[in-house]
């Protein structure tokens, strides 16, 4: 009998995971909750929300799920891994305590400060007046962050004191992010080039994935508001082999040791968002799951059976797995709804998916899509993550935009400059 696998989530990251897991000869049956129109082509979609942990647990028990793979951060922060493990269910993803690395910026910053992990200097506040008094005595630019989970939108780089004060108002007084804004972190502003550094770990062994870089701003030339990510590529030339060794030595290993010393072993995908300046990496944030959209170009390069890796991590046997990667670069371009990351219209029919799928070395990962009367329609802000490989980064870029240009719906928006930093090097 083969394995029965459940993926939790319904975005582009989860489609990439589903696409890869479905290729495994070990898997007999694949479910995804809730999934999307693209995932429905390789898995049976189940209409259970990722936050509905008890319903997910009941489903996993009833359907004898052998492995659950958690995509988004919210179920992890709610303790899905602990609840499933208590039930004897095998799950890929860290415990609720380990997930505090992402669900509480204060927790992460305090660990970094305590263990000398390089990051921006910071102060934390639960009182808005105290936060404002601190900001008025500091030189800008600063970065104001909601402590809790805010879907990538609770971070405000402030060039002026007025912008910093306005960000505190939005987070703490207007409660734009709900309970995530009961505390704020005020950080010094870091300059340099951002990169994403993701590792597989079972709490003992840590294996870095190839480097990647995403594009947070909504418009070309990194203009406009921050989003969940408008595209990504791998590898990121800013991370050299020498820099990777520094990141492991000064950030990833000390973090694992710090967590283990607190009795919080970490099993899953550990993501460090880094700022790199003059060859020195500093941590902007930690995430406790695969990045989105970084997962799409990374999974596109993975040659090893993903199920072997995930199973090894859940069993504490990651050291036994040899992981192979396609040396060719890959690029993902996010096609978003007009108006994203603000208000946008849903339910718009998407044309050209079949034509795009015929482009060699390209694949269309679905994020915010749904099926309506047999037609794929938009159902979110980030709608598609078109991904392609090439012998060079320039070739991958050419191929991915060939596929992007086949697809259309009313108001579609995407950046034309994904991976420009790699080209500029």
pLDDT digits (tens, 9 = 90+) for 281-329: 999 999 999 999 999 999 999 999 999 999 999 999 999 999 999 999 9
Sheet holding 184-188, edge to edge: 122-125, 184-188, 142-146, 155-158
The pLDDT score that the predictor gives to residue 151 is 76
Q: Which residues of 348-385 are buried (b: 16+ CB within 10 A; e: fewer)?
A: bebbebeebeebebbbbbbbbbbeeeeebbbbbbbbbb
Report percent pLDDT > 90 for the chain.
Answer: 94
Cα distance between residue 19 and residue 17, in whole Å: 5
Report yes or no: 215 and 418 within 8 Å, Cβ to Cβ: yes
In this prediction, residue 226 has a pLDDT band, given cuts at 50, 70 and 90, of confident
At 167, list the tokens. Answer: 């960000």
The pLDDT score that the predictor gives to residue 189 is 94
Query: With 90 as the cut, is the pLDDT of residue 153 above it?
Result: no
The pLDDT score that the predictor gives to residue 152 is 72
The pLDDT score that the predictor gives to residue 225 is 86
DSSP label of 246: H
For the CA atoms of the chain, what is the radius of gyration? 21
CATH 3.90.600.10 is held by the domain 330-424: yes
Sheet holding 206-208, edge to edge: 206-208, 193-201, 268-277, 280-287
3-93, CATH topology level: Rossmann fold (3.40.50)
Q: Which of 149-163, 165-179, 249-263, 392-406 has the lowest mean pLDDT?
A: 149-163
CATH architecture of 121-188: 2-Layer Sandwich (3.30)
pLDDT digits (tens, 9 = 90+) for 357-388: 999 999 999 999 999 999 999 999 999 999 99
Q: Which residues of 87-102 are buried (b: 16+ CB within 10 A; e: fewer)?
A: eebbbbbbbbbbbbbb
CATH architecture of 193-320: 2-Layer Sandwich (3.30)
pLDDT digits (tens, 9 = 90+) for 89-99: 999 999 999 99
Query: With 90 as the cut, is the pLDDT of residue 391 above it?
Result: yes
As a whole number, mean pLDDT of residues 5-26 equals: 98
CA 67 to chain centre: 20
At 213, list the tokens. Answer: 């870089």
As a whole number, mean pLDDT of residues 75-98 equals: 97
In this prediction, residue 116 has a pLDDT band, given cuts at 50, 70 and 90, of very high
Q: What value does the mean pLDDT of the chain take?
A: 96
In this prediction, residue 336 has a pLDDT band, given cuts at 50, 70 and 90, of very high
At 47, list the tokens. Answer: 């209409």
Cα distance between residue 20 and residue 306, in whole Å: 7
The pLDDT score that the predictor gives to residue 237 is 93
The domains of the chain are located at 3-93, 121-188, 193-320, 330-424
The pLDDT score that the predictor gives to residue 278 is 92
């Amino acid at each position: 009998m083969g394995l029965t696998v459940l993926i939790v989530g319904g975005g582009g990251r989860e489609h990439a995971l589903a696409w890869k897991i479905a290729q495994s000869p070990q898997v007999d049956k694949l479910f995804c909750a809730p999934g999307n129109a693209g995932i429905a082509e390789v898995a049976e979609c189940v209409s259970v929300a990722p936050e509905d942990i008890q319903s997910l647990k009941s489903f996993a028990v009833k359907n004898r799920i052998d492995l659950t793979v958690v995509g988004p951060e919210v179920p992890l922060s709610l303790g899905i891994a602990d609840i499933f493990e208590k039930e004897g269910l095998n799950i890929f993803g860290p415990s609720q305590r380990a997930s505090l690395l992402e669900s509480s910026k204060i927790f992460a910053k305090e660990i970094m400060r305590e263990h000398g992990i390089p990051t921006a200097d910071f102060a934390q506040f639960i009182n808005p007046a105290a936060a404002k008094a601190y900001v008025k005595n500091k030189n800008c630019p600063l970065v104001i962050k909601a402590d809790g989970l805010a879907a990538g939108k609770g971070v405000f780089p402030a060039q002026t004191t007025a912008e910093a004060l306005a960000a505190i108002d939005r987070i703490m007084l207007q409660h734009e992010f709900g309970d995530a804004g009961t505390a704020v972190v005020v950080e010094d502003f870091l300059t340099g080039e951002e990169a994403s550094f993701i590792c597989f770990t079972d709490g003992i062994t840590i294996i870095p994935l190839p480097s990647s870089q995403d594009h947070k701003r909504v418009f070309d030339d990194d203009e406009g508001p921050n989003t969940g990510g408008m595209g990504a590529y791998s590898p990121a030339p800013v991370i050299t082999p020498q820099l990777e060794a520094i990141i492991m030595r000064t950030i990833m290993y000390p973090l694992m040791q710090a967590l283990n010393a607190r009795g919080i072993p970490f099993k899953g995908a550990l993501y460090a968002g880094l700022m790199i300046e003059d060859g020195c990496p500093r941590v902007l944030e930690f995430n406790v799951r695969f990045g989105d959209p970084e997962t799409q170009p990374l999974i596109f390069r993975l040659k090893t059976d993903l199920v072997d890796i995930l199973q090894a991590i859940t069993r504490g046997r990651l050291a036994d797995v040899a992981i192979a990667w396609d040396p060719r670069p890959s690029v993902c371009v996010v096609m978003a709804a007009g108006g994203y990351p603000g208000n946008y219209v849903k339910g718009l029919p998407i044309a050209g998916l079949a034509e795009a799928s015929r482009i060699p070395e390209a694949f269309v990962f679905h994020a915010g899509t749904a099926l309506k009367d047999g037609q794929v329609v938009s159902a979110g802000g980030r709608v598609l993550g078109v991904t392609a490989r090439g012998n060079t980064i320039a070739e991958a870029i050419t191929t991915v935009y060939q596929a992007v240009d086949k697809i259309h719906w009313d108001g579609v928006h995407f950046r034309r400059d994904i991976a420009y930093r790699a080209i500029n090097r």
